[in-house]
Amino acid sequence: MALPDKYLAGSSTGTPFETGNTRSIVVTAEGLDAVNGYEGDTVVYTATVKDDLEASLPATFVADLEINSTKVITGQVFDAGVYDQGTGELTLSWTVPADVGAFTVKLTWAEQEI
């Protein structure tokens, strides 16, 4: 009876693989310059937006502003016109939609690789 083949232990030469950091977004100090208004009024939303290490976000980060589920600002890039890289303060002006009632205004964003 023939003996089975014997394979020695070893390893391949390998191929490069890199991992990246995963960060969470932290929004604090959310506020509005008016707590009520009428359709067509302009309201200013402000917040401090940073990552979980307290670092400011890149200028290419994108978010939406919603009043309940109605997007009042879509695809807002965090450029110098709305986002202060030094303080992390975001300032967005938006127009009150036609809906009537009590609502929540909030910032939303999708997962992004920047």
Q: Is residue 20 part of a domain?
A: no
Q: For residue range 30-41, what is the model confidence (pLDDT) as tens digits? A: 999 999 999 999
Residue 4 lies in a domain: no
What's the domain range around 64? 25-108
pLDDT in tens, 19-31: 999 999 999 999 9
Domain membership of residue 5 (yes or no) is no
Question: Residue 31's domain is classified under what CATH number?
Answer: 2.60.40
Quick check: is 7 in a domain?
no
Q: How many domains does the chain have?
A: 1
What confidence tens digit (pLDDT) does each residue in 85-97 have? 999 999 999 999 9
What is the pLDDT, as a whole number, of residue 112?
A: 97
Using a 10 angstrom Cβ sphere, with 0-12 exposed, 13-18 middle and 19 or more buried, the burial of residue 2 is exposed
